[in-house]
Structure 1
Amino acid sequence: MSLRPLGDKVVIKVKAEEVMTSSGIVLPGSAQEKPQQGKVIAVGTGEIIDGKKVPLDVKVDDEVIYSKYSGSEVKIGEEEYLIIKQADILAIVE
């Protein structure tokens, strides 16, 4: 099964965050910061602006930084993904 986002949506595989502090303390799930970086898995067909379809700026395999608490979390099998609008992506990591 795969995800095919529509319009200006992007599917991101969230980058796993460390669960242990530098001093060796393991943080419970509720105390961890929500990650803001991930890898683009799929992109939509583009955004419609003034009646014309404009392709998205991001592409599959881009590493991106996105707004905190944006998008919708989706779980397929054992994998967790985030579906967000391209506008919620702040930068491409190069």
Structure 2
Amino acid sequence: MAAQATFRSIKSVIPLFDRVLVQRFKPDTKTASGILLPSSVTNNPLPEATVIAVGPGAPDKNGKVVPTSVQSGDRVLLPGWGGNPIKVGEEEYFLFKDSEILAKIKE
């Protein structure tokens, strides 16, 4: 596993270029009826996340900046791999390239 960066405040992390800062949804530790789920089930990260911050975009081959396809507050579908982990206190966030995000989830 890659080294994990640790910060005091998530506001100190400003994504560059086409990077997107997300926080994955946490799996439920209990069923609706109150049964506790084993850690082998709850340790797998869910593929859904909330976008926390986005970079301004990356330049294309002509030098024109192409903005990211998601915005802060969007719900997104992530691949099962990748992303750079960032730790803020007990919370874990990830930086992904905009092109690695699979889909935007509409409510």
TM-score class, shorter: 0.7 to 0.9
Q: Gaps spanning 5+ residues in structure 1: where?
A: none
RMSD: 1.9
Structure ranking higher in strand proportion: 1
Residue 66 of structure 1: which of 65, 75, 78 is its match? 78
2:102 is equivalent to residue 90 of structure 1: yes
Give the partner amino acid of 1:76: V
| 1:1-80 alignment runs, 5 A limit | 1=9, 2=11, 3-20=13-30, 24-28=35-39, 32-50=43-61, 51-80=63-92
Correspondence for 2:6:
none
Matches of 1:31 and 1:61, distance apart in 2:
24
Shift of 1:27: 1.7
**TM-score scaled by length of structure 2:** 0.77
**TM-score scaled by length of structure 1:** 0.86
Shift of 1:78: 2.4
Q: Percent identity?
A: 32
